[in-house]
Amino acid sequence: MATKAIRNRDLKRTFITPEGVDLKLELGSAGSRAGAFMIDFIAMIIVLVVVTIALALMAVPGSDKFVTVLWLLGFFVLRNGWFSLFEMGTRGATPGKRLMGLRVVARDGARLTGAAVIARNAMREIEVFLPLSFLGMQTAEGTADTFLVLFALLWSGIFLFFPLFNKDRLRVGDLVAGTWVVQTTKAKLTHDLVGSGYRPRRTFPEHALKLYGIYELQTLEQVLRNEQSDAIVTVARTIRDKASLPDDGDDYGFLSDYYAALCARLEAGLMVGRRRENKFE
Amino acid sequence: MNAPVAAEFDAPLVNATRFRQAHSADWERLEELVTRLEKRSIRRLSDDDLLELPALYRTTLSSLSVARDTSLDRSLITYLEQLSTRAYFQIYGVQTPASRQIGRFFARSWPESVRAIWRETLFCVLLTAGAAFVSYFLIRADPSWFYAMIPQGLAGGRDPSASAEFLRSTLYEGEKDWLGVFATFLFTHNSQIAIFSFALGFAFAVPTVLLIIYNGMMLGAFVAVFAAKGLGLNVAAWLMIHGTTEIFAICISGAAGIRIGMAIAFPGRLSRMDAVVAAGRTAAIAMAGTVIMLAIAGLLEGVGRQTITNDGLRALIGSAALAGWLVYFYAWRPRSAADGN
């Protein structure tokens, strides 16, 4: 959990809108990028197979030339157009990327242009298709030797793992096109933990509220929102022990009151410019 | 203020509460609009919704700024971040309509980007010509060079040992049944090479330059074989009908690759990253254009050349095509170019 949070923070990137607000986009992880590509690749193969079979069934004597032309053009469009045409659409994502919740974005915050999409996808030719078709061709001719296979693998490997060697997870195509791939997530508006209006609350002595900072407060928020009883019991016991408060038997009530009091105190600190990040400050 | 005690009881304890009460209606309205936009196209939104969208977006964005500074409610900030991001993509990510983009491409982007890489294009043309001359004179001097340069399959018997009659027949008696297929095959094959030479530019343009040189050498080799049998002018006309367009397209795609390689090697005053991106986007447009050129070349080669056997007409069509491209790319300046958009 903690490592995941840290990793996610590593993938957060400053992204300033024209209004001057930083959206802090989260980059797509290498895993979801690879997953998206595999989905797209399999989808392309399925489309190719289905179209080929359909054309073969359609072909009546005399129409074979027309069908061949269609197939050649279809193959060309599928190979070079699948990624580009989908990414030029309003969603900025291929079906694979959509399934993985990814989206292509221009790094400079401007609108994603067709030129950028074409550039990033034309680079796939040398990243994937060149070694693949080379290998396929040589295998078909029976001339693929160990050296060639190794070379093709090495070549693909360099480009395949390129995203892992730079901090922005850029493919060679992203580098040339000035794009990056970000994670798009949908968060629901959660309920207000503190709530308004008067209700009887526990009060806490000063020393009990001085214990923690913002990081601990937000961890507590997570615990309260997750509503897992064992976590609530553990956290409540820890806080009571540290602040030497008596146990009144209502762990959740205790924690939400403590959260409200600590939040109010830390926010009051913010107002006067004192931001206490964690308990060590 | 008059009843401090009551106010203290009613006032929200933390900023997040106050904030949620004041603005959550706006956020949820924006979320609803954005969700509808994400599911369907922009045309499904009413005019009122469309007018409301930017205002709601800005409200949410300022909520986000304020929340970051004053609130410690993490899930609220996360929600606002993600809602703002989704709205941002809907507002700024939406592409101009396809028809307008295509119009722009032909009217502005394509000729402009080809003009922008004119030095590289000239270099490729000279390289092709140089390689063609070298291989031409090499083979005229010693025909055995031909076999070192051209693979047997590609030559199809058109090598120095072929008879003049056979060579003449390859120029004028084409296969007529499979014209469309032949043209399509040429188009997809050549386009794939054009895309390769763009992508290979990433390796400091070295493979791109090699590709261009090899292309020129093949050209020179074929001309040499035919010229040795006194068919020089005939083969020139045979090549010209589609070759002016095709070789020009290959040169432009090579130039696109070289532009990228040069930007990596010599970024100039820009940072290397910025230089590569600028080069990559310009080059991508030029490269996409060559696919169109190669489609036309494929038609000229696959259909035009097989049906037109008159040398003069072949040369005329080829020259006209070349003149057309030159005017379109370098001479023609649409008036709308001045409006800055």
B200/A126 Cβ within 8 A: yes
> For chain A, give me the number of helices (H) and strands (E)?
13, 4
Q: Which residues of chain B have pLDDT under 50?
A: 1-9, 337-341
d(CA A37, CA A29): 12
Chain B hits for A21, Cβ within 8 Å: 61-62, 64-65, 84
Contact call for A118 and B287, based on CB within 8 A: yes
Residue A145 in this model has a pLDDT that exceeds 80? no
> Is the pLDDT higher at A82 or at A60?
A82
Q: With 50 as the cut, is the pLDDT of residue A50 above it?
A: yes
Nearest CA in chain B to A77: B188
How much is the pTM?
Answer: 0.82
pLDDT of residue B248: 95
pLDDT per position as a tens digit, A262-276: 888 888 888 888 888
Residues 281..340 of B with a Cβ closer than 8 Å to A: which?
281-285, 287-288
Q: What is the pLDDT of residue A5?
A: 43
Q: What is the pLDDT of residue A6?
A: 43
How many whole angstroms separate alpha carbon A267 and alpha carbon B237?
83
Cα separations (Å) of B68 from A10, A73, B64, B177? 19, 52, 6, 71
Tokens of A175: 């580098």
A63 vs B: CB within 8 A: no
User: Distance between CA atoms of B174 and B304, rounded to whole angstroms?
Assistant: 11
Cross-chain CB nearest to A176 (options B61, B109, B276): B276
pLDDT for the residue A10: 77
Of A69, A75, A122, the CB nearest to B284: A122
Q: What is the pLDDT of residue B94?
A: 62
- Percent of chain A with pLDDT strictly greater than 70: 91
Q: For position B8, what pLDDT does the model report?
A: 46
Q: Given B17, B185, B282, which is nearest A194 (Cβ)?
A: B17
Instruction: Say what percent of chain A tops pLDDT 90.
Output: 19
Residues facing residue A182 across a β-bridge: A27, A103
Instruction: State whether B199 and A88 contact (CB < 8 Å).
Output: no
Task: Using CB atoms within 10 Å of the CB of residue A87, give its burial: 0 to 12 exposed, 13 to 18 middle, 19+ buried.
Answer: buried
Q: What is the pLDDT of residue B338?
A: 44
A12-24 per-position pLDDT tens digit: 888 888 888 888 8
**Of A133, A156, A140, nearest in space to A80 by CA:** A133
- pLDDT score at B278: 92
Nearest to A112 among B93, B273, B279 (CB): B93
Sign of the torsion formed by the C-alpha atoms of B209, B212, B218 and B224:
negative
Residue A195 near chain B (CB below 8 Å)? yes
Predicted confidence (pLDDT) per residue in B184-198, tens digit: 888 888 898 889 888
Q: When comparing pLDDT for A163 and B276, which is higher?
A: B276
Q: Look-up: residue for tokens 């053009």?
A: A73
Mutate one of B59, B195, B274, B276 to test the A interface: name it (highest A CB count within 10 A). B195
Distance from C-alpha of B88 to C-alpha of B100, rounded to nearest angstrom? 22
Scan for tokens 């009151």, then name that residue: A257
The token duo for A105 is: 């974005």
Q: Kindly list the domain boundaries of chain B, sorted by start residue.
A: 10-92, 99-339
Give the count of beta carbons closer than 10 Å to the beta carbon of residue A19: 12
Instruction: Tell me the pLDDT band of A66, cut-offs 50, 70 and 90.
Output: confident
Instruction: Note whether A193 contacts B73, CB cutoff 8 Å.
Output: yes
Stretch A42-53: mean pLDDT, rounded? 94
A38 in B contact zone (CB under 8 Å): no
Exposure pattern of B242-274 as b/e (b: 16+ CB <10 Å)? Answer: bbbbbbbbbbbbbbbbbbbbbbbeebeeeeeee
CB–CB contact B281 A122 (8 Å): no
Which of A76, A184, A197 is nearest residue B191 as measured by Cβ atoms?
A: A76
| pLDDT of B5 | 40
Closest CB from A23, A72, A214 relative to B85: A23
DSSP H or E run through A104: strand A102-106
Q: Does B48 touch chain A (CB under 8 A)?
A: no
Asked whether the beta carbons of A125 and A138 are under 8 A apart, the reply is no
* DSSP line for B130-155: HHHHHHHHHHHH-TTHHHHHS-HHHH
Band of the pLDDT at A196, cuts 50, 70, 90? low
